[in-house]
Amino acid sequence: MFKYKVTSPGGREFTCIAKNSTDAKRQACKFWGIRANDYWCGVSALKAKKERV
Protein backbone atom coordinates (compact mmCIF):
# COMPACT_ATOMS: atom_id res chain seq x y z
CA MET A 1 0.00 0.00 0.00
CA PHE A 2 1.21 3.44 -0.94
CA LYS A 3 0.05 7.00 -0.46
CA TYR A 4 -1.23 8.66 -3.65
CA LYS A 5 -2.23 12.21 -4.50
CA VAL A 6 -4.92 12.24 -7.20
CA THR A 7 -5.56 15.42 -9.17
CA SER A 8 -8.36 16.20 -11.61
CA PRO A 9 -8.11 18.42 -14.70
CA GLY A 10 -10.17 21.02 -12.80
CA GLY A 11 -7.60 21.22 -9.99
CA ARG A 12 -9.30 19.16 -7.28
CA GLU A 13 -6.98 17.04 -5.16
CA PHE A 14 -7.56 13.87 -3.17
CA THR A 15 -5.03 11.96 -1.06
CA CYS A 16 -5.52 8.30 -0.19
CA ILE A 17 -3.84 5.01 0.60
CA ALA A 18 -4.10 2.54 -2.28
CA LYS A 19 -2.40 -0.52 -3.75
CA ASN A 20 -1.81 1.15 -7.15
CA SER A 21 -2.61 4.32 -9.08
CA THR A 22 -5.75 2.92 -10.70
CA ASP A 23 -7.17 2.02 -7.30
CA ALA A 24 -6.37 5.52 -6.07
CA LYS A 25 -8.18 7.06 -9.06
CA ARG A 26 -11.23 4.86 -8.43
CA GLN A 27 -11.29 5.91 -4.77
CA ALA A 28 -11.17 9.56 -5.84
CA CYS A 29 -14.06 9.04 -8.25
CA LYS A 30 -16.10 7.45 -5.48
CA PHE A 31 -15.24 10.29 -3.09
CA TRP A 32 -16.17 12.99 -5.63
CA GLY A 33 -19.31 11.15 -6.73
CA ILE A 34 -18.39 10.74 -10.40
CA ARG A 35 -18.47 7.64 -12.58
CA ALA A 36 -15.09 5.97 -12.94
CA ASN A 37 -15.73 5.11 -16.62
CA ASP A 38 -16.71 8.66 -17.62
CA TYR A 39 -14.41 9.74 -20.49
CA TRP A 40 -14.17 13.42 -19.52
CA CYS A 41 -13.82 13.23 -15.73
CA GLY A 42 -13.32 9.55 -14.87
CA VAL A 43 -10.22 7.44 -14.28
CA SER A 44 -8.68 8.22 -17.68
CA ALA A 45 -8.75 11.98 -17.03
CA LEU A 46 -7.21 11.84 -13.54
CA LYS A 47 -3.54 11.79 -12.56
CA ALA A 48 -2.24 9.86 -9.56
CA LYS A 49 1.21 10.53 -8.16
CA LYS A 50 2.89 8.38 -5.51
CA GLU A 51 3.92 10.39 -2.46
CA ARG A 52 6.48 9.68 0.21
CA VAL A 53 5.04 8.58 3.52
One-letter identity of residue 42: G
13: pLDDT confidence band, cut at 50, 70 and 90?
A: very high
44 burial level (CB within 10 Å; 0-12, 13-18, 19+): exposed
What integer pLDDT is reported at residue 47 of this predicted model?
Answer: 97
pLDDT at 16 over 90: yes
CA distance 23 to 21: 5
Q: Tell me the pLDDT tens digit for each residue of 17-36.
A: 999 999 999 999 999 999 99
> Domain ranges in the chain?
2-51
> What's phi and psi for 35, nearest 5 deg?
-75, 135
Q: Contact 13/25 with Cβ under 8 angstroms?
A: no
